[in-house]
Amino acid sequence: MPSFDVVSEIDIQEVKNAVDQASREIATRFDFKNTESSVSLNENDLVITIASNTPDRLKAVMTVLEERLVKRSVSLKVLDRQKVEDAAKGTVRQSIRLLAGLEGDRAKQVTQAIKAMGVKGVQAQIQGDQVRVSGKKRDDLQQVISELKDRVTDIPLQFVNFRD
């Protein structure tokens, strides 16, 4: 019985490289001089922290970071921006969680989208942080993949382990 897995993964090395590039650019750009702007990555918690002295400079730091992530082929859909908060000495900071894996509600959203397609003989099961989709015909599974790309737009999805 043919099957494949739907996952949402992040290449953490590419994120790390993008954060390093953004940090170097911020350190050298003239418009960021004396603004105490910074970008840092906490790999254990998958959280990027950006900081600056004003909310406008914070938006500019975010723009630089987003540009670096896009150049590194990291989808911006994985960024879960938290609220901008005040920090020490009149500065502001923002935490950005990286969403990896299909947990709970996100996995349910994918399985509900598959069921809503109404393709006969196709079943979806949640297995940890991925969704296993199996069906009787390979063509049905390919149809599910193409429709999932159209229906689920707020989550970066990858389709792996396609087996006959």
Q: Are residues 82 and 117 in the same domain?
A: no
Q: Are residues 45 and 107 in the same domain?
A: no
43's CB contacts (< 8 A; 6+ apart) are: 12, 16
pLDDT score for 155: 84
Domain span at residue 153?
3-8+102-163
Question: What is the Cα–Cα distance from 128 to 92, expressed in whole angstroms?
Answer: 37
**What total of structural domains would you count in the chain?**
2
Whole-prediction pTM: 0.82
Q: Each residue of 112-144: pLDDT tens digit?
A: 888 888 888 888 889 888 899 998 888 888 988
Mean pLDDT (whole number) for 142-156: 87
Q: Are residues 38 and 24 in the same domain?
A: yes
